[in-house]
Structures are given as structure tokens and as C-alpha cells.
Amino acid sequence: MPQSPITSFILCTHRYPEKRMRHLLDIMSSAVGRSVQRELRVIGIWEKTFATVRPELILGLRLCESWCKACEELIILWKDNTKGHSWVGFDYKDEFMLLLVRRLQEIITLRQTREELSRLLTGEFDRENVQKQMQNVRSGTMVGSLGKHFAGIDPLLCSHHTDAAWSSSRVAMQA
């Protein structure tokens, strides 16, 4: 039997509001992003060898990516009418997490490129032991130069305000 507008009004149930959920996702995203930043700040992104920092960087990146994907999946689920409580606003994307994902990808690419360059410079005809020693020396020097290019810049501090300084240092280093 169809309900009159008045009956529908009276039977209106309380649900967790979308605006409140969006805010909760914001503070959760922020907490996850800050924990990744805090953990990665102490590993020596420029100072340590790529083999040392790579697993930590990948872990941080994967966690941020998984977080963004989880948020997207929840919204898709909720848009598909969850017992009368549908997500009706625009999709949820946390800007800070997206910036952090991009920054981590750039850091990994920079370190990886340097690693490959140092391998090439070592040459193919060196004996195995010599090659390893030279690689360590050259890799250390090159990593040191990366740190020099980004001196004074916190690589994990990412916002639209800090993006310009990071990008110009990256471009200058690659030139």
C-alpha cells in the first residue's frame, strides 16, 4: 500500500549521514597518510642503498594505493542502494593520499633510475668482485648526489604548496 507523504515523513529512519562519512574518511585517510610519512622519514630515502629502502617505499606505496582503492570500492557499493541508504554525492577521493601516492612513485622511479645508471657505469667486463665493489662506491656517490639535489626538501611533504619546489628540483636533477 503506498504511503502518504506524511506517513513517509514520520517513518523516516536515522542513518549515518553521507557528510559525516565523508569527514570520517578524510580523517582516516589523513591518519593513514601521516603514518606512512612518519615511517618512511626515518629510513634514509636518499642516504641508504636502494636495496635497503626499496621494500619500505614499496610497502608505503602499496598501502596508500590499497587505501584509495578501498575507499573507491566502498562508495561504489554504497551508490548501489544499500537498503534505502545510497551515496548520492560525488565520489570520494582523498587529495592528500593521491599526492602521496604520486610522490612515492616519483621517489621510487628516481632511486631506480639512479640504480640502473650506476650499474651501467660499472661496465659489463669487470670481474664479479670488482664490479660489486665499484658498484657500491658509485652507487653511494650517486645517491649522495640525489640528496644534494633535494637538499632542504622533505620528499614526503606533499601538498600543492610544496609541489613546485619538489618538481623544480626533480627537473633540475634530471636535466
Partner 1 sequence: MFSLESFVNIKSVTDEIDLWNNMRSSMSIDGDLIHGVASALEPLREWFNTLEMPTWSQAGEFIDQVMESLDRVWKAEGRGSQV
The residues that touch partner 1, with contacts defined as CB under 8 A, are 9-17, 19-21, 23-25, 27-28, 31, 34-36, 38-39, 59-60, 62-63, 66-67, 70, 73-74, 77-78, 82-83, 85
Q: What is the nearest approach in angstroms of partner 1 to the Cβ of residue 23?
A: 5
Report the amino acid identity of residue 119: R
Q: What is the nearest approach in angstroms of partner 1 to the Cβ of residue 132?
A: 28
Instruction: Give whichever of 71 and 143 is closer to partner 1, judged by the CB atom.
Output: 71
> Is residue 19 within a helix (H) or strand (E), and if so which, with residue range?
helix 18-41
Q: What is the nearest approach in angstroms of partner 1 to the Cβ of residue 6?
A: 11
Instruction: Give whichever of 38 and 132 is closer to partner 1, judged by the CB atom.
Output: 38
Phi, psi angle pair for 82, to nearest 5°: -90, 90
CB 136 within 8 A of CB 144: no
> Distance (Å, rounded) from C-alpha 133 to C-alpha 119?
11
